[in-house]
Amino acid sequence: MALAFPKANVSILAPIGAAGLFWAWYGLTPWRAFWVGWFAGTLFMCITCSWIAETAGHFVAPFGFLIVLLPSAAEGLATGVAGVLAAMVLRYAPRTLAPLGVAAAFTLCEWLRSVGPLGAPFSDLSYTQVTSPLAPLAAFIGPFGLTFMICVLAAYLAFAIRAGWKRRTLRVVLTVYSVIAVLTAAAWLLWPARQVATPTYPVVAAQGNISQDIKWTQGAFDLSLDRYESLTEEAASYEPAFVLWPETVVPADLNTLPWLLHRLEHLAVSTRTELIVGSKQLRGGAEYNALYFFRPDGTLDAVYRKRLLLPFAEYLPAQGVLGHVPGADLVSRFGHGDTSGVVDVGGARVAPLICWESAFTDLALEGIRDGAQVLIIATDDAWFGTTAGPYEHAQIAQMRALETGLWVVRAGATGVSGIIAPNGRYTVETPLDVMTIAHGDIGPPQLTLYATIGSLPIVLALLLLYAALIAKPLLLAPR
């Protein structure tokens, strides 16, 4: 399963790998299935999220491995719970339908670990399929519906292996696979983004390539400003509607620096573009991770404050308890924003997302409900060097485009920066560790069914499916 993610990107291994896990749950008691699932889930998360320790691990060396191991063990609990639910449905549900319950159980547990302020929506199976033939399904059933489809393929493969490839078994498996093939073909034919409208709205994402090990030094402050000013002046020749800078390009409270505000206002005027700058904001005694919007006439139009912060990095959960733990002083104490921050930029409604927020589908959908036509993502993946982290994060941005039908403009401090069409494909993509701009055109949104209904109907349908498969057999089981 891990090899389905960057950097290997062998998407077919997502269902094949999951089939191995599901195969292992056959015949186990729920308790034993929990331990198998927890161990497998922990190992899987350790592999796919090992990039977390690239920079952050240096702060707590020689115990940097705990930054990966402890969150992975916590997230692995979701796979353990999936094992319990799978073992129950395999024991009580009709034999040929039980794989559907296994797929529903895994998907529901993936959803549970991916939502809320402590959610960790990295390593979701759906992200592996953003360029596979299954990708159009995301426009109708979203990332969790797509995970369910992957798991159905996996669960029936495990079923076939367990049953010994008998003729009756193969007939069931081929029927299920044929249904998925028909649904995928129908999704492709009805896909709003199958024919993307001609893009005519020029935009630029700037990538200054300031590495994390020097970013917070005084010398880097001046270097960063010089680089991004230079990139913005270069971008002006394309007459973009906006130029997007990455997260916290200005590593200070911008609103407390009148000289710098004036400098950025002048830059917006001289380049005749909307300038979107990642920085911090001091407001009401709290500090925020923010994006500043400067209009082409130099006025500060809006400030977006990051709503969903990265736990144990940007804020400390249960601060009253954990605040006394050694190392707690290394955790930032940012405030939480409270609005979607949708802004009119050059005639288009733009919904901003900062770094970690781009991994949460519900935040993108909230922007659409507030009228967003474009998603912009400002991030600083320099924390993760050239590991798989920046690539997986860039892959997640493709899912945001697929599921919503909106164009996505992404600016990364060291990459990946680029422009993503509503079909989930990068039309412009920069490499890592270069100073460059990503320039191109975007167009109108191709709004999807999923953008209208959101995740809740998908989750409720999976809950009902699981309950229907297990309720009657469980009630009739001998006591």
Cα 317-73-3 angle, rounded to 5 deg: 120
DSSP H/E element including 243: strand 242-244
Strand 348-354's sheet: what is its strand order? 343-345, 348-354, 374-379, 407-412, 418-420, 426-429
For the chain, how many structural domains are there in total? 2
Per-residue confidence in pLDDT tens, the chain, 479 aa = 999 999 999 999 999 999 999 999 999 999 999 999 999 999 999 999 999 888 766 666 666 778 889 999 999 999 999 999 999 999 999 999 999 999 999 999 999 999 987 788 999 999 999 999 999 999 999 999 999 999 999 999 999 999 988 999 999 999 999 999 999 999 999 999 998 888 999 999 999 999 888 887 878 899 999 999 999 999 999 999 999 999 999 999 999 999 999 999 999 999 999 999 999 999 999 999 999 999 999 999 999 999 999 988 899 887 777 776 766 777 889 999 999 999 999 889 999 999 999 999 999 999 999 999 999 999 999 989 999 999 999 999 999 999 999 999 999 999 999 999 999 999 999 999 999 999 999 999 999 999 999 999 999 999 999 999 998 776 766 65
| 152 and 236 belong to one structural domain | no
| 146 and 242 belong to one structural domain | no
| 164 and 273 belong to one structural domain | no
Handedness of CA 148, 154, 157, 158 (dihedral sign): negative
CATH code for the domain of 316:
3.60.110.10
Instruction: Confirm if 228 and 222 have CB atoms less than 8 A apart.
Output: no
Cα 19-25-26 angle, rounded to 5 deg: 95
Residue 446 is encoded by which pair of tokens?
A: 């191709």
Strand 418-420 vs strand 426-429: parallel, antiparallel, or unpaired? antiparallel
Instruction: Confirm if 262 and 222 have CB atoms less than 8 A apart.
Output: no
Q: What is the pLDDT of residues 42-93, one digit of tens each?
A: 999 999 999 988 876 666 666 677 888 999 999 999 999 999 999 999 999 9
Q: Which amino acid type is present at position 476?
A: L
Peptide bond into 416 cis (omega under 30): yes
| 129 and 48 belong to one structural domain | yes
| 14 and 159 belong to one structural domain | yes
pTM of the model: 0.95
Round to whole Å and give the CA distance between 277 and 419: 18
Q: What is the DSSP letter of 198?
A: P
| 360 and 472 belong to one structural domain | no
Range of the domain at 57: 2-193+454-476
| 46 and 107 belong to one structural domain | yes
| 233 and 364 belong to one structural domain | yes
CA-nearest of 81, 80, 68, 70 to 39 is 80
| 333 and 471 belong to one structural domain | no
pLDDT at 326: 66
Q: Which amino acid type is present at position 37?
A: G
pLDDT at 391: 97
pLDDT at 19: 98
Instruction: Confirm if 200 and 347 have CB atoms less than 8 A apart.
Output: no
| 32 and 12 belong to one structural domain | yes
Q: What is the pLDDT of residues 251-295, one digit of tens each?
A: 999 999 999 999 999 999 999 999 999 999 999 999 999 999 999
| 251 and 287 belong to one structural domain | yes
pLDDT at 58: 66
| 381 and 460 belong to one structural domain | no
Q: What residues have CB less than 8 Å from 436, skipping those under 6 apart?
A: 207, 209, 231, 417, 430
pLDDT at 331: 81
Q: What residues have CB less than 8 Å from 394, skipping those under 6 apart?
A: 410, 412, 415, 416, 418, 429
Residue 159 is encoded by which pair of tokens?
A: 């079923």
pLDDT at 60: 61
